[in-house]
């Protein structure tokens, strides 16, 4: 039940990141067009792209990526290990991931609160308020930590599907 809700949520957030992607494409394209034709750039394009669209594209899909096991890893030695050792490795990996992502979520959470309190802005041709973007960091890292926690619990219960990870089409 909880897993179903989580899967739905993380997928929805992933597509929300996709919406950020499309908005960035349109905003930058329009900015180039207006600059070239009317000498009228859209003020704040750089700041909005960097601090809003990119934060959405990079961070909102993080829980989805973590749950789908799409983060980049090296499974050379892992593949040579016997089944039990593989299970232990996976468990350790999930536990460390939960620990690191929680720590990052906690620290960036402190920053988000601080940023909200002072009403943080960034400089540029226009001042852009950035505390809402700051808040996406702890939220996304915490959700990704939760994704790993779920995977660890599934593994512990022997429910881990062990699907071959769909590697990110990166590089």
Partner 1 sequence: ANYNANHFFAERHSMVRGPYVEFARRVAEKTNGDVTFQVFTGGSLLPPAASLQGLRDGVAQISYHAGTYTPAELPVANLIGNMAFYNTDPMVMAFASTEFGLTNPAALEEWAKNGVVFGGGYSTSQYFMMCNTTVETLADVKGKRLRMPGGAWTRFAEYIGAVPVSIPSSEMYTGLDTGSLDCAVAAADALDSFSLKDVVTSMNTLAIGNYYAGFEWGYNKAFWRGLSEDNKRVLFDEMAYELAQHRLAFDADVNKAVDAAKSNGMQVYSPDEALVSSLNRFVAEDEKVLIENAKKRGVENPEEILAQFKSIVDRWDALLNSVDRKDVDALAALAKTEIYDRLDLSTYGMK
Partner 2 sequence: MTGNLIGFAGIGVLFLLLASRVSIGVALMLVSIVGIALLTNVTAAFGIVSALPFNFIGDWSLTAIPMFLLMGFVAANTGLASGAFDLLGALMGRVPGGLASASVGACGLFAAASGSSIATTAAMSRIAVPEMLKAGYHPSLATGVVAASGTLGSLIPPSILMVLFGIFTEQSIGKLFIAGVVPGILSVAIYVGMITIRAALNPALAPRMQSRLDMQLIGRLVLNVWPFPVLIVGVLGGIFAGLFTPTEAGAIGAFFALIIAAVRRSLTLENLAVAIKQTVVATSSIFFLSLGAVMFTRFMGLSGVPRVLADSMLMISGNPIVIILMIAVLFIILGMVIDSIGLMLLTLPIVLPVLEATSIDLIWFGIITVKLLEIGLVTPPVGLNLYVLHSALSGRVALKDIIYGTTWFIGMDLLTLAILVAFPAIVLFMPSMMMG
Q: How far lies 34's CA from each of 30, 40, 45, 48, 90, in Å?
A: 6, 5, 12, 17, 51
Q: Which of residues 92-121 bind partner 2 (CB under 8 A)?
A: 92-93, 96-97, 99-101, 103-104, 107-108, 110-111
Between CA 137 and CA 135 the distance in angstroms is 5
Nearer to partner 2, 58 or 129 (CB): 58
28 binds partner 2 (CB under 8 A): yes
- The answer to the question of residue 24 lying near partner 2 (CB under 8 A) is yes
Q: Which of 40, 43, 75, 132 binds partner 2 (CB under 8 A)?
A: 75
Cα four-point dihedral sign 139, 15, 1, 166: negative
* CB half-sphere exposure, 89, CA atoms < 13 A: 14
Residue 162 found at the interface with partner 2 (CB under 8 A): no
Residue 71 near partner 2 by CB under 8 A? yes
- Cα 104 to Cα 109: distance, rounded to the nearest angstrom: 8
Confirm or reject binding of residue 73 to partner 2 (CB under 8 A). Answer: yes
39 binds, among partner 2, partner 1, none (CB under 5 to 8 A by kind): partner 1
Residue 159 contact, options partner 2, partner 1, none, Cβ 5-8 Å cut-off depending on partner type: none
Three-class DSSP labels, 85-141: HHHHHHHHHHHHHHHHHHHHHHHHHHHHHHHHHHCCEECCCCCEECHHHHHHHHHHH
119 binds, among partner 1, partner 2, none (CB under 5 to 8 A by kind): partner 1
Residue 81 carries which DSSP code?
S
* Residues at the interface with partner 2 (CB under 8 A): 14-15, 17-18, 21-22, 24-26, 28-29, 31-32, 46, 49-51, 53-55, 57-62, 64-65, 68, 70-78, 89-90, 92-93, 96-97, 99-101, 103-104, 107-108, 110-111, 122, 133-134, 137, 164, 167-171
């Amino acid at each position: 039940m909880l897993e179903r809700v989580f899967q739905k949520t993380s997928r929805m957030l992933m597509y929300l990141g996709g919406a950020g992607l499309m908005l960035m494409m349109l905003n930058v394209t329009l900015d180039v067009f207006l600059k070239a034709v009317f000498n009228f750039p859209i003020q704040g394009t750089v700041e909005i792209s960097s601090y809003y669209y990119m934060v959405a594209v990079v961070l909102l899909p993080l829980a989805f990526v973590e749950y789908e096991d799409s983060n980049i890893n090296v499974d050379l030695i892992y593949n040579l290990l016997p089944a039990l050792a593989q299970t232990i490795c996976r468990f350790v990996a999930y536990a460390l991931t939960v620990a690191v992502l929680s720590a990052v979520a906690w620290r960036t959470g402190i920053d988000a609160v601080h940023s909200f309190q002072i009403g943080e802005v960034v400089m540029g041709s226009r001042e852009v308020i950035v505390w809402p973007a700051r808040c996406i960091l702890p939220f996304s890292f915490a959700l990704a930590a939760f994704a790993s926690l779920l995977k660890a619990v599934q593994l512990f219960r022997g429910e881990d599907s062990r699907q071959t990870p769909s590697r990110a089409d990166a590089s």
